[in-house]
Structure formats: structure tokens, C-alpha cells
Amino acid sequence: MNVTKKKGTHKILKFFIFIVAAILVLAASFFILIFANEYKPAPEENISVNGTSSNQLKQNETVRVVTWNIGFGALGKNTDFFMDGGKSVKTSGKNEITENLNAIVEELKSLNSQIVFIQEIDLNSSRTFKINQRDFICEKIGNFQNTFANNFKCLFVPYPVPPMGKVDSGILTLSKFPVSSAKRIQLPVPFKFPVRACNLKRCLLVNRTAITGTSKELVTVNLHLEAYDDGEGKKQQTLILKKILEEESQKGNYVIAGGDFNQTFDTVDLKDFPQNEKLWKPGKIETEIFTYDFYTLMDSGNPTCRSLDKPFDSTKDFQFYVIDGFIVSKNIQVKKIETVQLNFENSDHNPVLLEVVLTGEEID
């Protein structure tokens, strides 16, 4: 090999080494930035209460409560999702998301509820074109107070391909009754570093409302428990929920917890929704841990959730779940629980409606 060719080879090799080193440095810097800015909420945080409400909550009046996982406005019937065996990461365009959000608001209005628990609502996420869905819904729905707690916050989620990007998401509670205080309570995180850094930090959103003419409060708990763990995370989070509910019940307060449990109560009849072993499987809650002081409520008449392994088509066999519902203290009379069948038009979940009366007496 002549000297000129040898020098040319060395230059190419040096350039190649430089490029590889630069890529490695940039990648390392990127991941250091993500891990250094990991969302690390405190065990308990006070949450601001926004909006106005002039409706006073009274004993012995009927209260309607809705829980709905809205799938960040991007999981309508035409979508699949990579975490459920589908292919899509960014599942809907901006116009589709706006249409879904408008439809969700109109449905909530038609349900005429005084309290609404919403899960999977984005504030500033790449997957939903940075639409502030909290402001969108609160501005359109009218006279409600609102509280919000993050449960997923990451500068950049680097998986899959293409990556999810920035996520800023959480749970929202709307109330037509004045909320005296609100608190975010952190739940155990079952994932280890580095997965933990880019994963959800699940929580409970606890609101308190005074009841006119009594010293008691209505304590509402909005929740969205673990989904993609090995099962132990769900169990630990459920036990924390149980402890909090029992503490409030023992004070004589009225307690309503609702949301997406990602589990099915063991009292639910699932014969109409057989499990496809190839798809995601929810956990099971042994309701005997709650039933001494509480009612555990899910409606098995209609599915509350569908699998996202493919777009929804009601004419084909599909995987359905019953994982959304309520836990209610026994000083509350339950008049109705109903899954509102919307055929997953604008979300991969159906809303669930609860109608109760704050009686002050245990109803067997």
C-alpha cells in the first residue's frame, strides 16, 4: 500500500471513529438529561382547586358520579396501540383528537353528573399534539370545580420506534360541589431503574367536600392503577387504596372511590367476555378485603374496556374487559351502577355511571 492511500485510509477511520464517538456522547447526554429530570413526586402533595361552584352538598340527596378513562382523546374506534399488541404509537391526528374530546364533553353533559372522574388526560404531550385537554374540557363543560394530578410526566419517552416523545398526563376530577381541599397521594412504583424513569408514577387524587348541616365530609378518590406490571404493583397499590378508604370510613365520612382499576372484582361475572390468553390480562381484586365497610361495584352487563390490538369492529370477535368501577362506603345507598354503552367510539373505555344517596345509615 502506498503512503498516500494509507493516509487516506487513516483519515476515513479517524472520521468514522469521531462520528461514532459523537453519537455515543450525544446519546449518553440525552439519557442523562432524561434520568436527571425524572418525575419524582412527594408522597403527598396539596393540589390546587380551580373553577367555581355554588351547589352545596346535602345529606339524603341523590348524587350522580361518572368515571371515564378517555384514552387521552386519541384511542377511538379506529385505533390500535403498541402496548396492547397493536402497531400504532401516535394513534390519531389532531383533528381526530379534537373531535373525540368534543364528543366526550357532550356525553358528559348528557349524563348530568355532579362528580366526574377522568383518567388519561393529557396536558402537554407529543402524542396528542400538545393539546391541553384539561383546559379544553373544563372550558366546555361548564360550572364545575376541577382538580388535576400528574401520573405520567417525562421529557422524552425513548421507545418504541418511532418513540412516544414528551408525555405530560394525569387524572382529573370535576365537581359541581365546592371542594374544600385536594391531595395527590403517590402509589408504589413497581418498576426499577432505568424503566422507572420513563414510566408512570401512579397516584390517588383525593378531594374533600363539606356536607351541609353535618360535621362529615364526602371524600372522593379518583384512581388509575397499574396496568403493565407483573401483578404485584396492582396488589400493593390496591392495599394503599384500602388503607386510605378505611381511615376515612372510620371517621364517619362518606367515601366514593372510582376509576380504572386495571383489575376486575372477583364478584363480576365474566362469562360473556372470555379471556384471549395472547392478549393483555387484567388482575383480580379479592373483594373480601373491602366488603366489611364497603360496596365494590362493577357492571358486568356491558364491557368497560376493549383491547387495542386492532381497530374496533363490533362485527368481529373482540377482547373485552370489565375493569372500571367504584368502591363506596356503606353509609351510602347505591341506587344504580351502569356502564354506558358507547361502542368505544371516542375512547377504548366506556363511561360508568353511579347513582347514590348519602343516607348516613348502613344499607345491607
Q: What is the pLDDT of residue 137?
A: 98
Mean per-residue pLDDT, 152-181: 93
The fraction of the chain above a pLDDT of 90, given in percent, is 79
d(CA 224, CA 118): 9
d(CA 354, CA 326): 8
d(CA 339, CA 351): 6
Beta strands in the chain (DSSP E): 44-46, 57-58, 62-69, 115-122, 145-157, 165-175, 181-186, 203-212, 217-224, 254-260, 263-265, 283-285, 294-297, 305-306, 320-321, 324-329, 333-339, 352-357
Indicate whether 168 pLDDT > 90.
yes
Q: What is the pLDDT of residue 52?
A: 86
Q: What is the pLDDT of residue 363?
A: 46
Q: Across the chain, what does the average pLDDT equal?
A: 91
* Least trusted range by pLDDT, from 98-112, 249-263, 312-326: 312-326
* Max Cα-Cα span within the chain: 99
Asked whether 311 and 78 are in contact (CB, 8 A), the reply is: yes
Q: What pTM was estimated for this model as a whole? A: 0.92
* Least trusted range by pLDDT, from 5-9, 134-138, 243-247: 5-9
Beta bridge partners of 325: 259
Q: What is the pLDDT of residue 159?
A: 82
pLDDT tens digits, 194-250: 888 889 999 999 999 999 999 999 999 999 999 999 999 999 999 999 999 999 999
Neighbours of 95 (CB within 10 A): 9
Indicate whether 3 pLDDT > 60.
no
pLDDT tens digits, 29-67: 556 655 667 899 999 999 999 998 878 999 999 999 999
Q: What is the pLDDT of residue 364?
A: 47
Sign of CA dihedral 186, 29, 124, 76: negative
Confidence of residue 24 (pLDDT cuts 50, 70, 90): low
My answer on whether omega of the bond before 190 falls inside 30° of 0, hence cis, is no
